[in-house]
Structure formats: C-alpha cells, structure tokens
Structure 1
Amino acid sequence: VALQKVLTQLPANYPHPILLIQHMPAAFTPTFATRLNSLCKIEVKEAESGDQLKPGCAYLAPGGMQMMLERGGAYGRIKVIAGKADMNYKPCVDITFASASKVIGGDVLAVVLTGMGADGREGARMLKGIGATVWAQDEASCVVYGMPQAVTAAGIATKSIALEHMAESI
C-alpha cells in the first residue's frame, strides 16, 4: 500500500529511475509489478538481469532473488542473482543499497518505507557515507515502524516524512 501511495503520485515524466525492494515471495512480485504499472503514470516492471535503468521507470526486485546494479548505460544496469540460502531477506534492501553505492555513488535518494526488521540500515549507512540522501517514513504513518526506525535511530535518515507527503517530497 505504501509503494502504491507514493508511486501513483509520480508524474509520467519523472526524471530518474527507481529501484523497489519489497519483501515479497517470488509468486507475488510479477503480479504486484503488473498491478502497480496499471495504476501508475510511470512504468513499473519486475526487474530482469540486463535491464538498462531509464528515467520514469520503477524496477521491482523479484521475490526470492537479489537485485544489484552494475555499470552500463547512462544510469546502470540491473543484475538479478539468487540469494544465499541463509539470507533472511530475498530481496534484501541492504544488498541493493550497497550495490547502488558502488555503481552510482552519492547521487542517490534512498527512501525507507514501512516494514519489519532493520533491513536497509547498513546499506543506507554505506550510501550516506558517500554523500547520498536517506529519508525514512515517519512513525505515525507506518503500519510497521521497524525499517524506518532502524535508519532513523541510527542517525542515518536526514528526514522523517509522512507517507502522504513522500511523493511530493521526492
């Protein structure tokens, strides 16, 4: 619901690519991406290895896999790999954020929305360490304040924003 609320407010000419990491099983991500695509002005698709990042397109990490970036094209290219069996999250926000820090550097806005656990905190720390901007959803508008709280409590998030104001802030 949080992703839908933010993504549906972005204009068709949104000038940047978007990476989406949602803790979701593999059976659900293709349908979720298709549903978001039907509701949004931007394009939303389930990410595939080799996808060239392009402005106005959101790439949803496939469930059960890890989404990383590699150099290639103007913005980078997606690489989808199987996650290690012992990983708690597949996809994992920390892995995607860490990959973005290496490929894109500090020219990133990382936004951590409602979710359980602390996934995203260490990747956000890496991004912030090289000059990226990190925002978190505020506690009052979260269903579960775990992930946003982890980046906020660690002093990584520079802003705490209500879900209803996130799209306009972005």
Structure 2
Amino acid sequence: MTAATTSAMPADAGVQTVAQAYATADMAAAFLAIDIYARASLEHSLCTVNRYDADAMRVVRLHSSNPQAYPPGGSKDKRGTPWGRHVLLEQRIFVGEGVEAIREFFDDHDAIRDLGLQSVINIPVVYNRECLGTVNFLMTRPKISEADIDSARLAGVLALPAFLALRQAAKK
C-alpha cells in the first residue's frame, strides 16, 4: 500500500486497512494506514510517527509521509525543550498555529516553512501513564479546529497497538 494508491480511501476501508496491518503484525503498514485514514478528516500534508526514548529524551521517526524531507530513522533531542516537557513529559497534545508558533517550538522550522506547512498537532501516545511516542500532523492551513484535534487524537489511539507491539519486541 502506498499513500498515492490509498489517498482517496473511504473511512471504513481505512479502518479495515489498519486492522489488517495489525492482524499481520505489520507496524509500518499500520502507521501508513493510520496516516491515510487521518488524511480524510485532517487534510494534512505531512504525518510523522515517532517512538519516544525516555532515557535519552529523544524521538526517533518510525514513519513519514514525506520520507525525502523527513526520513524514517531520523531523531531529535527533546531534552530541556518546552515541546518535550509539554508533549513527552506532561503528555499533553500540542497545537501550533501559524508560522511563528512553529518557529518558536521547532528547530527545523525552516524546513517546515519550505514545505508550506503552517500548523501542527502533536499527539502523545500514552499507555499506563508512559509516553511511548507521538503521532504528528502538519497542515498548510494556519488554524486548527477542535474537530481536527479530535481526529488527530483518534489517530493516536489507533497507533497505540503498534507502539505496544514495538515496546514488547524491544524487551525480547
């Protein structure tokens, strides 16, 4: 499955695709299906999924809808950052609206701007009071609605089984 072949996927087919990815234990396919499923409501231009390494206070990219600009495997140090405290430690959703908000919270704000992105929703994926990672959506529009936040939150919930499977695999 690719983003191009499934970008017009109906919502119910999107849920089925996420379920099928989990049934076959294909976490990469699950993240892609969640990205595509959320696109129907969010109309985002970039989706990334990051695993959180609490010991190093780093996020490591597992999925990107734009691997040329944001390749999987890339990582960012979030120690001592307001964003890291807000999302990773306090486990709160971050909403950034407009170019200035992105400039304030993201070191890679120039790359984000160059992609024409003006708003962001970062969803911490939390289980048993532990942040496992984040699901992130960036849009070309400067404003975020409550419906956008709800859709992004649902995508985070859909990603939880993948994060739990990855955590379990790391313990083996």
Q: Structure 1-normalised TM-score?
A: 0.30
- Structure in which a larger fraction of residues adopt helix: 2
Q: Structure 2-normalised TM-score?
A: 0.30
